[in-house]
Amino acid sequence: MKKIAVIGLGIIGGSICASLTKAGFTVDGTDLNESNVSYAIKNGYIQARAEELSGYDVVFIAIPPAATISVLDTAKFKDGALVSDICGVKEVIEKAVYAKPRNYRYVGMHPMAGKETSGIRSASANLFNKANLVLVHAAQTKEKDVDELKTYAHKMGFGRIVECTAEEHDRKIALTSQLAHIVSNAYVKSEQVKGCDGFTGGSFQDMTRIAGVDEKIWTQLYMHNKSYALEELEGLIEHLNVYCKALREGDEQALSDALKEGRLIRETIKRGND
C-alpha cells in the first residue's frame, strides 16, 4: 500500500488524515504546531509525524497559498510522487509548479467542505461525506494522475467531483466562496448586531455563519485572486445599488422587479450547488 503524508493539520488536513485512515490507509502528518501533530496521533488520525517527504508516494498539502508554493518549490519529494494541494486559489499555484521541471506529479484539488470553526479539533473523518470536490488540471496533467487522486477522493467520502482548469476554478470560487465570505464579514459590522439577541432566526444565522474568517489566510486568498474577486464584488455592489435606488425613490415597482428577478434566478440553482 502506498505511503501517504499530509502537510498541515488544520480542519481540512486533519480531515484528510482521519478519512483516509478510516478507509484503511496508513497516513502520517506534519504541522508547524507540534500540539496538532500530538492531537492527530492521539486521536488516531495519523500513525506518526511525517519526517522525510521523499519517503512518501502521495502527499497532500493543506496550508495557506504562500506556504504551499514554498513547499512545492523546495521540498524533496519522491520521484514520481503524486502531490496535491487544497488551496482555494489555483492559477498562482499552477504557475509556480510548472515554472520549472519537477520530479513529482501534480494535481490540484479544492474540497468544498468546512465549518464555521477551524483547526485540528474541528477535523472529522466524516467532514467530506457527500461533499463536492474540484480537481484542477493543466495541459501537463496526466489523466491517470487525476484518476488516482479520484480514488483517494472517493475513499475520503466525496460525492460529486468536478474537473476544470485553474482559471475556471478561480472565477467560480470568487463567486461561490470568496464573495460569500466578504458579504458575511461585512454584514456583521452593522451597529444593530450588538442588540439583536432574541430577534434572530435562520436567515441571520445563514448570513453570519462564515463571517469569522482567518484574516491572515483569507487576505492571501483574495490577493491571489483579486481580479476575479473584485469583479464579483463590484458586480454585487452594482446589483445592491438597484435596491438602494428603489428604496430611496420609493419606487415599489422597481423594488418588486429586482426581488422577482433574484427569486427566479434562485429557482434555477440546483440544490447540489448550495
State the Cα–Cα distance between residues 156 and 131, nearest whole angstrom.
Answer: 10
pLDDT at 136 (0 to 100): 97
pLDDT at 114 (0 to 100): 84
Tell me the mean pLDDT in the region 8-25: 97
Residue by residue, what is the 3-state secondary structure of the chain?
A: CCCEEEECCCHHHHHHHHHHHHCCCCEEEECCCHHHHHHHHHCCCCCCECCCHHHCCEEEECCCHHHHHHHHHHCCCCCCCEEEECCCCCHHHHHHHCCCCCCCEECEEEEECCCCCCCHHHCCCCCCCCCEEEEECCCCCCHHHHHHHHHHHHHHCCCCEEEECHHHHHHHHHHHHHHHHHHHHHHCCCHHHHHCCCCCCHHHHHHHCCCCCCHHHHHHHHHHCHHHHHHHHHHHHHHHHHHHHHHHHCCHHHHHHHHHHHHHHHHHCCHHHC
Tell me the mean pLDDT in the region 68-84: 97
| pLDDT at residue 273 is higher than 60 | no
pLDDT tens digits, one per residue of 113-132: 988 788 999 999 999 999 99
Least confident of 23-27, 90-94, 172-176, 267-271: 267-271
| pLDDT at residue 271 is higher than 70 | no
- Has this prediction a pTM greater than 0.85? yes
pLDDT at 272 (0 to 100): 45
Domain map of the chain by residue range? Answer: 4-164, 169-273
| pLDDT at residue 274 is higher than 60 | no
State the Cα–Cα distance between residues 128 and 149, nearest whole angstrom.
Answer: 15
Confidence band of 20 (pLDDT split at 50, 70, 90): very high
| pLDDT at residue 18 is higher than 70 | yes
Residue 5: phi and psi, rounded to 5, are -125, 145
pLDDT at 154 (0 to 100): 97
Q: 169-273 has which fold? A: 6-phosphogluconate dehydrogenase C-terminal fold (1.10.3660)
| pLDDT at residue 63 is higher than 70 | yes
Q: 4-164 has which fold? A: Rossmann fold (3.40.50)
Q: Which grid coordinates are listed for 122?
A: 474541528
Residue 171 or 114, more confident: 171
State the Cα–Cα distance between residues 19 and 37, nearest whole angstrom.
Answer: 16
pLDDT at 185 (0 to 100): 97
Confidence band of 1 (pLDDT split at 50, 70, 90): confident
Residue 55 or 115, more confident: 55
* Averaged pLDDT of the chain: 95
